[in-house]
């Protein structure tokens, strides 16, 4: 059976030891985010996830959502779990106290989100979309819209949804056809159809606030003519109470490979009343505020699934008896040794562990940068944090979800044939993980964003936010005999990344296909180097703490770092070779021959 125990010790390691998260309490607005409060929130969140959300994960997958007479019903137990979630204030963690939020750091929220995604990814999509919509409205909505809608969204009474995709356009939103016609009272009438809308309709909240991309009558062609509108399921009266049903309805729900307890809807807008969010024809800027928040959270979905898959695989590997160890019997009192004695099983488990703990550390860097970006008193520090987040967002989204899918597959492989059987729970993680590589912009699109936008931005300024600290770390540590086994492999891989960056920059200017052809490998290379940097830093901490009550924890951290440096990071060489091969290997192939 699947198992989950929140990895609180490792979360505390990342928050307290790797980044000294206590410094967040020194920032304006975060004064209450003391280590004691952070620890209490993590403890309570772990109880919620282990005892409320995890027990309905498999049953929710098997039952799925159902669509009857225009109404979407979530699986048994989801409404009760959501009510418990709301009562605990979990919808308000990182929201502004002005609207009823708790104003806690995004770093803390990211760790809570990981636990939610591990325990029940489908459930997590509902509050997750609401949080994304909240951030978009907070950043670009008028004071009137914010005062009218945000308090109930923060409280969890109302939820949010993001309505972008149409049947004929996904990534290329410049093709969208949904129309917005201005009205005399300042509102707009929205007409069109959206598909693949997560949490577009459900029975968890009394109202759903849709953020909808549409075109005004005078809109320019392409993405420069897209505006963003707030369209509630039920209109809201001046006193805040719910009025009549708006002209928005669910036409169907999708029958999917995974996240079956998350409603994925076809939404029809028929002269629905909506209000402009932000400026006319500037909707993509506002929507990207929501999408970038969601992309980081989707990355953490991959991390969460990798963690729960790892835990299940370890538990099974300890119990499953098959064969004897190659070096001789390890458990003579048993008819066979547990499979954890076999090198290939350990290879899979350590790969999962190295990915998971490395991604958790990198998520900490990004989420702490989000906090600095919004709260640091120094404008320069805020800009530097903003730059780092912009650079690493596509990497977190794509790398974490790629590795999450790999980890869930490895977890299923550890189980062998039993992993393919539903009752063990592992195959669900594989199916759930697969969508994370697709939604909020496919991972190929993330790679194009990295090489096409982020890499050249501001004459390489974003890159410097990563390259400079890594280079400084290597320069300082590679002369240290104790740190050489970590610093030298990192230096070699970092050199490959620098060479690949130069190659793509030069070749891409002459032929854009050159950048496109190497984009996915470049993102993977960048991500593996970033994880290598994380592991080297964690190893340095672990080396200094090999004695004491927690020696076993730090020894495991150090051994995992060694595994990563020697068994995973060397992939950088192959990735660099693939990038250097250029675009001809694929673009010269005759289209008719496919």
HSE on the CB side for 286, CA within 13 Å? 30
Measured CA to CA, the distance from residue 408 to residue 412 in angstroms comes to 6
Number of H helices, E strands in the chain: 17, 11
Residue ranges of alpha helices (H) inside 511-565 are: 512-543, 551-563
How far CA 245 is from CA of 79, 164, 172, 211, 271, in Å, comes to: 21, 22, 31, 17, 12
Q: What is the DSSP letter of 69?
A: T
Tokens of 336: 């066979």
Measured CA to CA, the distance from residue 454 to residue 251 in angstroms comes to 38
3-state SS assignment for residue 332: coil
Neighbours of 381 (CB within 10 A): 14
Tokens of 137: 């409205």
Q: 171 has which bridge partners?
A: none
Which residue in 132, 9, 19, 126 sits closest to 74, CA to CA?
126
Which residue in 467, 478, 499 sits closest to 572, CA to CA?
499
Tokens of 79: 């409404």
3-state SS assignment for residue 269: strand
Measured N-to-C along each axis, helices 343-375 and 106-140 cross at an angle, to the nearest 10 degrees, of 50
- Asked if 11 and 49 count as a contact pair (C-beta separation under 8 A), the reply is no
- Asked if 195 and 213 count as a contact pair (C-beta separation under 8 A), the reply is no
How far CA 8 is from CA of 41, 317, 360, 568, in Å, comes to: 11, 22, 12, 25
Write the CB contacts of 478 (distance below 8 Å, at least 6 apart in sequence).
484, 487, 488, 491
- Asked if 425 and 258 count as a contact pair (C-beta separation under 8 A), the reply is no
Q: Which residue has the tokens 């009266």?
A: 237
Measured CA to CA, the distance from residue 546 to residue 87 in angstroms comes to 42
Residues noted as catalytic: 440
How far CA 285 is from CA of 128, 139, 161, 271, 281, in Å, comes to: 20, 10, 17, 24, 9
Tokens of 323: 């064969």
């Amino acid at each position: 059976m699947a198992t989950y125990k929140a990895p609180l010790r490792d979360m505390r390691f990342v928050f307290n030891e790797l980044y000294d998260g206590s410094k967040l309490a020194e920032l304006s607005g975060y004064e209450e985010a003391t280590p004691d409060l952070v620890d209490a929130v993590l403890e309570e969140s772990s109880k919620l996830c282990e005892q409320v959300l995890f027990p309905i994960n498999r049953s929710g997958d098997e039952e799925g959502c159902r669509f009857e007479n225009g109404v979407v019903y979530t699986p048994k137990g989801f409404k009760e779990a959501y009510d418990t979630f709301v009562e605990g204030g979990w919808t308000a963690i990182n929201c502004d106290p002005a609207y009823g939020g708790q104003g806690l750091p995004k770093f803390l929220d990211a760790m809570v989100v990981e636990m939610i995604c591990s325990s029940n990814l489908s459930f997590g999509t509902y509050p997750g979309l609401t949080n994304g919509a909240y951030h978009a409205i907070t950043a670009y909505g008028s004071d009137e819209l914010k005062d009218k809608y945000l308090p109930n969204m923060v409280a969890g009474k109302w939820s949010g949804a993001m309505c972008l995709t149409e049947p004929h356009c996904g990534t290329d939103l410049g093709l969208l056809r949904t129309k917005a016609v201005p009205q005399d009272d300042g509102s707009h009438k929205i007409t069109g159809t959206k598909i693949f809308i997560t949490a577009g309709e459900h029975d968890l909240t009394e109202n759903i606030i849709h953020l909808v991309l549409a075109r005004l009558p005078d809109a320019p062609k392409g993405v420069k003519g897209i505006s963003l509108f707030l369209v509630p399921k039920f209109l809201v009266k001046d006193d805040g109470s719910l009025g009549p049903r708006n002209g928005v309805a669910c036409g169907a729900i999708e029958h999917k490979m995974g996240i079956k307890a998350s409603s994925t809807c076809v939404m029809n807008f028929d002269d629905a009343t909506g209000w402009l969010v932000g400026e006319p024809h500037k909707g993509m800027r506002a929507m990207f505020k929501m999408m970038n928040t969601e992309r980081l959270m989707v990355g953490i979905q991959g991390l969460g699934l990798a963690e729960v898959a790892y835990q299940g695989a370890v538990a099974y590997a300890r119990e499953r008896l098959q064969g004897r160890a190659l070096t001789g019997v390890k458990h003579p009192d048993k008819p066979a040794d547990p499979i954890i004695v076999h090198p290939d099983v350990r290879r899979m488990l350590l790969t999962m562990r190295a990915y998971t703990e490395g991604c958790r550390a990198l998520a900490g860097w990004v989420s702490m940068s989000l906090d600095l970006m919004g709260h640091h008193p120094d404008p320069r520090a805020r800009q530097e944090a903003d730059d780092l987040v912009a650079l690493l967002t596509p990497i977190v989204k794509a790398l974490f979800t790629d590795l999450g899918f790999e980890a869930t597959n490895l977890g299923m492989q550890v189980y062998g044939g039993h992993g393919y059987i539903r009752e063990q729970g592992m195959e669900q993680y594989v199916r759930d993980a697969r969508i994370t590589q697709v939604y909020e912009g496919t991972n190929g699109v993330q790679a194009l964003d990295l090489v096409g936008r982020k890499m050249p931005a501001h004459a390489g300024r974003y890159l410097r936010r990563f390259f400079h600290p890594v280079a400084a770390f290597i320069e300082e540590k590679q002369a240290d005999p104790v740190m050489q086994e970590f610093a030298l492999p990192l230096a070699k891989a970092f050199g490959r990344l620098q060479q690949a960056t130069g190659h793509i920059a030069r070749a891409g200017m002459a032929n854009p296909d050159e950048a496109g052809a190497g984009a996915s490998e470049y993102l993977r290379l960048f991500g593996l180097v970033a994880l290598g940097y994380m592991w080297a830093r964690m190893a340095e901490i672990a080396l200094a703490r090999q004695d004491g009550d927690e020696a076993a924890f730090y020894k495991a951290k150090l051994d995992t770092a060694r595994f990563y440096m020697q068994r995973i990071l060397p992939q950088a060489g192959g990735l660099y070779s693939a990038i250097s091969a250029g675009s001809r290997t694929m673009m010269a192939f005759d289209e008719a021959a496919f």
